[in-house]
Structure 1
Amino acid sequence: MDTTTAATKAPLKLAVVLASNREGRFGPVITDWFLGRAAERPDIQVELIDLAEHDLPTSLTSNPTPDVQATLAAVGPKLADADAFVVVTPEYNHSFPASVKSLIDWHYGEWRAKPVGFVSYGGLSGGLRAVEQLRQVFAEMHSVTVRDVVSFHNAFGDFDDEGRHKDPAGADAAAKKLLDQLSWWGETLRDAKSVRPYAA
């Protein structure tokens, strides 16, 4: 019987991916809000991966340029070290940004047998169409996507000029549920892989 308690377990390493790299993006406001919620959790250790700072080309090659190699060297170890992921994504043309697809495509083993959660934002759809398509992509990477998401519909009106949510109760509750599910899946899969390697 495993007598290890949650208090003695290592914190779950959560990589938060800010997917948008467009000029004038609203993503940092959403991401900062979510990072604040995650920072309240002693069971979670967070690292931000901002894709505006890590520009990967959309065309894959077996002989990447030195610039691409440098980006892979900066991002790859962070993904590999993570136990779980949250992708903060807008919806572009009923889908997700090319920047996050490039990040996924340039890596493989880093995603395997790890949970992925989503925080989405947009207009009336709240970015949910991007999330549903990303679920299919991550399934191909042998990732587990958690059911509940945090979704901001017409997100620009939800936050004040200081980046504070105007009516945080519902969003805070959604973030807690997402983090609870990620924590469960992340710890469960981490423990399982320590006993038996995942068969990809």
Structure 2
Amino acid sequence: MSEHPYRLAVIIGSTREGRFAPVIANWFTRHTEGHPHIDMDVIDLDAVRPYELRYGSEEYETFAKRVDEADAFVVITPEYNHSFPAPLKHAIDLLHAQWQAKPVGFVSYGGISGGLRAVEQLRLVFAELHATTVRETVSFRLAGDLFDDTGHLHDPAPAAQAADTLLHQLTWWAVALREARTSRPYGG
């Protein structure tokens, strides 16, 4: 492992009113804080407001810079109607080179499938952007039933183990691809 931390952008993909995404994001970021080799940047699309971003605006440039500076991403996504939210797709589509040659992991939640159908579609989107998706995911089936009123899991062990596996894989890819981009720019 590199002696320098890598930058992980955690992208909160839901912007719906009453969304459950902050509960999932808070759990994941608390868990990730225990990994000292990761420097985290949380990008909440509800605050970014991707549909309002205009190319060249200060807000657009700030979003583009945050994505560009990341060495890896974790996308937190719900599953809406067997897919992922439209604002997430729009935010991804606003940029191109900033995603290239970087790894992407997923934390999903939803009904009976735990958001995994959304993840499978996101894998196709990121492949087109020349990003590498990691195999392992963290998935919360019927997520509302798994957390207490304070945002803590009733049984944290399975999710913590899945998150550690995801972060282990993501770290390998983040460090390897950062070194590769440094020594030889990606020509996608």
- TM bucket normalised to smaller: over 0.9
Alpha-carbon shift at residue 9 of structure 1 (Å): 1.9
Runs of 5+ consecutive residues of structure 2 not aligned to the other structure: none
Alpha-carbon shift at residue 195 of structure 1 (Å): 1.2
- Equivalent of 2:43 in 49, 54, 60: 49
CA-to-aligned-CA distance 1:99-144 (integer Å, 9 cap, x gap) = 1101111000110000000000001010000000000000000000
Counterpart in the other structure of 2:175: 187
Matched, 1:176 2:164: yes
Q: Which amino acid aligns with 1:74?
A: T
CA-to-aligned-CA distance 1:28-62 (integer Å, 9 cap, x gap) = 0000000011100011110100000011229x9xx
Counterpart in the other structure of 1:32: 26
SS at match of 2:135: coil
Counterpart in the other structure of 1:3: none
Alpha-carbon shift at residue 65 of structure 1 (Å): 7.1
SS at match of 1:71: helix
d(CA) in 2 for partners of 1:55, 1:70? 13
d(CA) in 1 for partners of 2:36, 2:13? 25
Runs of 5+ consecutive residues of structure 1 not aligned to the other structure: 1-5
CA-to-aligned-CA distance 1:61-84 (integer Å, 9 cap, x gap) = xxx378xx2331221111000000
TM-score computed with the length of structure 1 as normaliser: 0.91
Q: Residues 55 and 71 of structure 1 are in contact (CA less than 8 Å); yes or no, is this contact kept in structure 2?
A: no
d(CA) in 2 for partners of 1:9, 1:107? 29
SS at match of 1:89: strand
Larger radius of gyration: 1
d(CA) in 1 for partners of 2:50, 2:161? 34
d(CA) in 2 for partners of 1:70, 1:25? 27
* Most deviating of 70-79 and 168-177: 70-79
Between Structure 1 and Structure 2, the one with more helix by share is 2
Aligned-residue Cα RMSD (Å) equals 1.5
Matched, 1:152 2:140: yes
TM-score computed with the length of structure 2 as normaliser: 0.96
Query: Cα 1:93–1:40, aligned 2, differ >3 Å: closer, same or farther?
Result: same
Matched, 1:134 2:122: yes
Moved over 2 A (4+): none
Aligned residues: 188
Identity of aligned residues (%): 52
d(CA) in 1 for partners of 2:116, 2:146? 17
Matched, 1:9 2:3: yes
Q: Residues 12 and 187 of structure 1 are in contact (CA less than 8 Å); yes or no, is this contact kept in structure 2?
A: yes
Query: Cα 1:73–1:199, aligned 2, differ >3 Å: closer, same or farther?
Result: closer
SS at match of 1:148: strand
